[in-house]
Homo-oligomer: A and B are copies of this chain.
Amino acid sequence: MTTDRRTTFRDIKSELERRIARRVWPPGATIPGEEALAAEFGVARATVNRAVQELARSGIVERKRKSGTRVALYPVREARLSIPLVRKEIEAKGAAYAYSRLSRAVVIAPDFLRVRLALPASAEVLHLRCLHLADRVPFQFEERWINLDAVPEARDEAFEEIGPNEWLVENAPFSRAEFAFRAARAGRDEAALLQVVEGEAVFVAERMTWLADKPITFVRMVHPPGHRMVTEI
């Protein structure tokens, strides 16, 4: 006996995907309207709507009122890149996490930071340097600046037990963030901390965050060679 469940929006979504993949509807073609698809699959229009909307969100089709829905010519594939806490990332690998604060100082924001975060002249920031280890091996060197005007509570935190990342997650929510990833050569300090040869290729991730247009923090995270940032569609 077949378990004849009713058709879900998922069924419809994957059937539409299949047709697009098999070029029943080639790139650029307009696919039938929601009404027609609803009739074909024997479901309510809302169900078709949900299926097609999800396809649109993932960039496989493009929708426009009145014009209809068409298969995207150059699908802008979007990978979702999840950015967990370092600790979570390390624990997810099954490794033991360890954290160490290297230095902490309240300083006048250096020029490059003033420019990038649009800080006023002589703004005070908290400068932190930390190391995150996985199974006692250096995993990430973190260099962070926190805008003390936006997060004055940071002035009273030593960051000896808890990493700035985790502390900020709990104490300073952000509404907008900007990420950048690049390759760089390890400087003398970084190389020593990460226990690699000076000049080695390191993976650098930078992040700036804001809460309602007020800059919160800028962080540079340096990973030793071999580190891979992975994602999928």
Contacts and interface: CB of A to CB of B under 8 A. Distances in A.
Nearest to A165: B74
A168 to B, nearest CB: 11
Contacts of A199: 199
Contact of A203 (B59, B182, B226, B233): B182
Contacts of A110: none
A203 B181 contact: yes
Nearest to A71: B173
A85 B74 contact: yes
Interface residues of A, number: 51
Contacts of A173: 20-21
A6 interface: no
B201 A185 contact: yes
Nearest to A232: B178
A170 interface: yes
Interface of A: 17, 20-21, 27, 59, 74-85, 88, 166, 169-170, 173, 175-185, 199-204, 211-212, 223, 225-233
